Chain A
Amino acid sequence: VQQFLAVNSPRLVLLAACLAAVPAFGAAEPVPVTVSIDTSGPSTRAVVTFKAPVAYRVQEDAGRVMVVCEQPLAPEIAERVLEDGIVKGFVVQGDHEIAFTTGRGYRRLESFELKNPSRLVLDFQGDRGARSVPAVVPGGGGQTIIVIDPGHGGVETGAIGPSGTKEKDVTLDLARRLKALLVKQGVTVVLTRDEDRVLPLDDRTAIANENRAELFVSIHLNASKRKSAYGAETYYLSTDATDDEARTLAALENKAYEPPGVTPPPGIAPADKSLELILWDLAQNSYLAESSRLAVSVQKELNDMTGVRDRGVRQAPFRVLMGATMPAILVEAGFISNPDEEARFKDDAYKDKVAAAIARAIAGFRRSVAALDTGPAASGAARP
Chain B
Amino acid sequence: VSRAGLVPAGVTLLFVALVMAPSGCGRKAAAPEAPEVPASAPTAAPVAAEVPAAAVPVPKATITVWFPSAAGDTLVGETREIVDTLRPDDRGAQILAALLEGPKTGAALPAVPPGTKLRQLWIRPNGIAWADFSTELASGMDGGSDGEILAIYAIVDSLALNVPAIRRVGILVDGRERETLGGHVDLRRPLAPDTSLAAGAPKG
Q: Measuring CB to CB, which residues of chain A are less than 8 angstroms from any residue of chain B?
A: 151-152, 156-160, 167, 201, 220-226, 228-229, 235, 238, 240-241, 245-246, 249-250, 252-253, 259, 261-263, 265-269, 277, 316-320, 322, 330, 332, 335-337
Contacts and interface: CB of A to CB of B under 8 A. Distances in A.
A229 to B, nearest CB: 6
Nearest to B175: A265
A226 B18 contact: no
Interface of B: 14, 17-18, 21, 68-73, 109-110, 120, 122-124, 126-128, 130, 132, 142-147, 149, 168, 170, 172, 175-177, 179-180, 183-192, 194
A337 B144 contact: yes
A319 B69 CA distance: 24
20 contacts: A152-B183, A159-B142, A201-B179, A220-B184, A221-B144, A222-B146, A224-B144, A238-B194, A241-B186, A245-B192, A250-B189, A262-B21, A267-B172, A316-B145, A316-B184, A316-B185, A318-B185, A319-B185, A319-B187, A330-B145
A159 B175 contact: no
A317 B180 CA distance: 10
B189 A246 contact: yes
Contact of A253 (B14, B73, B145, B190): B190
Given A246-B192, A265-B130, A277-B188, A156 B183 contact: yes
B143 A223 contact: yes
A261 B10 CA distance: 10
Contact of B71 (A226, A261, A266): A226
Contacts of B132: 265
Given A157-B143, A201-B180, A240-B194, A316 B149 contact: yes
A315 to B, nearest CB: 9
Contacts of A317: 185-186, 191
Nearest to B127: A249
A221 to B, nearest CB: 8
Contact of A159 (B128, B130, B143): B143
B172 to A, nearest CB: 6
B124 A267 contact: no
A19 to B, nearest CB: 18
B191 A240 contact: yes
B83 to A, nearest CB: 22
A158 B120 CA distance: 28
A158 B149 contact: no
Contacts of B147: 223-225
Q: By CB atoms of chain A within 10 A, which of B68, B130, B144, B172 has the most?
A: B144
Given A226-B146, A335-B144, 7 more contacts: A224-B144, A249-B189, A265-B120, A265-B175, A268-B177, A322-B186, A330-B145
A240 B187 CA distance: 13
A268 B178 CA distance: 9
